[in-house]
Amino acid sequence: MKISYDKKLKEIKIFKPESFKDFRGEIWTNWEKKHLMKKTIPWLFLILGIIFSTIVWSFISLPYNSSNTIIGEYSINKINPLNDTLRGLFFIIFPLILYFGAFLKYNKELITSKIFQTKSSTSNNNINYLCYIFIIFSILEFYNLNHKDFLGALDSHHEGTILTAQLNFFSKNKIWTGTFFDYGFLGNSIGIFFNYMFDDYSIGIQRFSFKFLILLNKIFIILICRKIINSLDFTNHKEILFLIFTLSTITLASFYEHVTPLHPRIFIYLIFTLLVFNVITSKKNNIFSSFLVGFFSLLSLLFYWDIGTYINVLLIIVLIYLFLIKKFDDFYKIILGIILSWLIFYSLISNNEFKEFINQYFIILNISDYLIGLEFPKPFTDKSTRHTKALLLIVISGVFLINYIFDKLKKESLESKFLLFYLFISSIIFFKSGLMRSDGPHIKYTSGLYTLLIFFFISYYLIDKISDSKIFSKINIFFNKKIYIFTLSTLICFLFFFQNNYSNILNILNSNKNFHMMTKVDDKKFLNSDYRNFIEIYKDLTKDESCVQQFTDDNAIPYLVGKPTCTKYYVNAHIIQNWTENDFIRELKASGPNYIVYSSKINWFKSRKNAPNADKFILDNYFLYKDISPWIIYKKR
């Protein structure tokens, strides 16, 4: 009968080393060599997969669509937008397939056959206490912010995209027929919620709203971390694991960074994920959560075109999982939620609004890559350090996941395996935005989910490695006493959450005044003197006009003038030949504004050649009236 190396080694360790020195030494050496080889071979295959993926990167190239008329980096270089997506997916998936195959072949004795074992996840009161402490300190950190730090100059392009969208909504009493949304209706008009909170809307309130969304992200991250840890069978060390994992993950949502890995817009995904985790881990018949998960098919698209698309893909994956494990009640309730949400939506809005909603989604889906796409650089080449690191981190998180799911020694529940698999798939799907617009901010912007996974696996395996040490045992005993947990975690949270703002601790006691510094500040404080001068001149020119129109990327102009746009196209980049140009010309003819801001300091976002007929229409029907460099105003003939 063949004895495994693990069992043989365990038997040998029973005897005294002095008595069986030679025999023990020989067996240990053979086992060690074979064990090391088994551990090394999958990694060698992984490295070979990465090398091969890098070599074939440039060969993964689809024919360019010659019928495309949208001018951008892809069209200039004759690049098919699908190339970056296919290359990125191949670079991630192919090495993982090789690793997985080698892992199965050479580590059969370490692989569990009970991957789909179900095990009830249990709530841990100590973790609940830690969770509440983290949430409280996140809120205190928000109140502790010095809001004067966020009163810098207006980003008239990006912030204007949001400010003008809400102005159009309130002024036109229309949604999609009145505004062509860049992010999505609620995403561009996020200030609607804060308008009711403050009975006002301003640049300061808009910035406050983004800090508030970061706070929501922190809270939902904490709750998601609790779900993950509670789903584990790591019964003796959950508190310490939760503490390390959650504190690491919270850093991904920062109040102080302009671009943060878990950015404000991702809050809708975090809410959806928490609901999915509730459905997956709940042993009860949770009707509300299942229905609500289905409603996110529509709700997510109402917020953001791109994130809504990603969430709908994830919905399909969740439904497949529920079907496979025969949770048919939740499966059918989610489908019913999807159907009901769309039926209710269709019945509440007019046919014209619904058609325009579908039309805008279809257009954004088709033009975005061509319009703003930047080719993703080949890994390990010059100036690709950030891009290569991102791809490698996703691959490493996939390696961790494979080991976690199939490791015989880690008898974790199917629930925990799916939660982590779901996050891994999410990280790949969200990285689509980084593959398409591959500049530094977008690479960082899409890094949150795979970094979260890396943090989890490092914390998980680190604690597993040191769990047998005497020091760790003493620490663990310490964590089993509620008073000690409360005291220590409170101290850690105080040091962690206020590390950037100890000097402003009194802001917590004077939060109303502190918030007032941002939310009630005059909009003019965000503008330089030249911009203020231009706005005053343009406001005076259009005082008798019912609307205004700019043909530049300075999207804040209508908001600052205080008038809605004369067409739905307040983002100049969306006026595109063969897509929306004719509709823009038709609406401009109908509204007939006397003045148009033809040029400004922000004309860089897209080539004006994308709308040659619209440009010709303006030049034919308007003449140069006033040059307030860099702003140029045209007047109707």
Residue among 115, 104, 101, 108 at smallest CA distance from 2: 108
37 CB-near residues (< 8 Å, 6+ apart): 106
| 534-542 mean pLDDT | 95
* C-alpha–C-alpha distance, residues 415 and 280, integer Å: 7
Whether the predicted pLDDT of 19 surpasses 50: no
| 385-406 mean pLDDT | 94
Whether the predicted pLDDT of 121 surpasses 60: no
Q: pLDDT at position 518, please?
A: 77
Is residue 64 a contact partner of residue 82, using CB atoms and an 8 Å limit? no
* Polymer length in residues for the chain: 637
Q: pLDDT at position 380, please?
A: 94
Whether the predicted pLDDT of 397 surpasses 80: yes
Query: Which range has the worst mean pLDDT, 137-146, 302-311, 333-342?
Result: 137-146
Domain boundary assignment for the chain: 5-106, 263-372, 527-636
Q: pLDDT at position 113, please?
A: 54
Is residue 297 a contact partner of residue 287, using CB atoms and an 8 Å limit? no
* C-alpha–C-alpha distance, residues 139 and 133, integer Å: 10
Percent of the chain with pLDDT over 90: 56
Task: Annotate 202-221 with three-state secondary structure.
Answer: CHHHHHHHHHHHHHHHHHHH
Query: Which range has the worst mean pLDDT, 2-6, 43-47, 250-254?
Result: 2-6
Split at pLDDT 50, 70, 90, the class of 236 is: low
Angle at CA of residue 188, ends 182 and 190, nearest 5°: 165
Q: pLDDT at position 182, please?
A: 92
Highest mean pLDDT among 37-51, 196-210, 354-368, 428-442: 354-368
- Mean pLDDT for all residues in the chain: 86
489 CB-near residues (< 8 Å, 6+ apart): 129, 130, 133, 243
3 state SS of 598:
strand
Split at pLDDT 50, 70, 90, the class of 8 is: very low
Split at pLDDT 50, 70, 90, the class of 503 is: low
Q: pLDDT at position 116, please?
A: 54
| 122-135 mean pLDDT | 82
| 338-364 mean pLDDT | 96
Is residue 587 a contact partner of residue 566, using CB atoms and an 8 Å limit? yes
367 CB-near residues (< 8 Å, 6+ apart): 70, 574, 576, 579
- Tokens describing residue 561: 């003038």
Is residue 532 a contact partner of residue 513, using CB atoms and an 8 Å limit? no
Q: Express each pLDDT in 437-479 by its tens digit.
A: 888 888 998 999 999 999 999 999 888 887 777 666 666 666 6
pTM of the model: 0.90
Q: pLDDT at position 109, please?
A: 66
Q: pLDDT at position 462, please?
A: 87
| 285-308 mean pLDDT | 91
Residue whose token pair is 């038709």: 586
| 361-390 mean pLDDT | 92
Distances (CA, A) of 106 to 39, 100, 402: 8, 10, 14
* C-alpha–C-alpha distance, residues 451 and 270, integer Å: 15
Is residue 252 a contact partner of residue 451, using CB atoms and an 8 Å limit? yes
Distances (CA, A) of 328 to 119, 320, 323: 18, 11, 6
Split at pLDDT 50, 70, 90, the class of 16 is: very low
Q: pLDDT at position 112, please?
A: 58
Q: pLDDT at position 30, please?
A: 61
3 state SS of 469:
coil
* 536 or 24, greater pLDDT: 536
DSSP state of 314: H
Split at pLDDT 50, 70, 90, the class of 47 is: very high
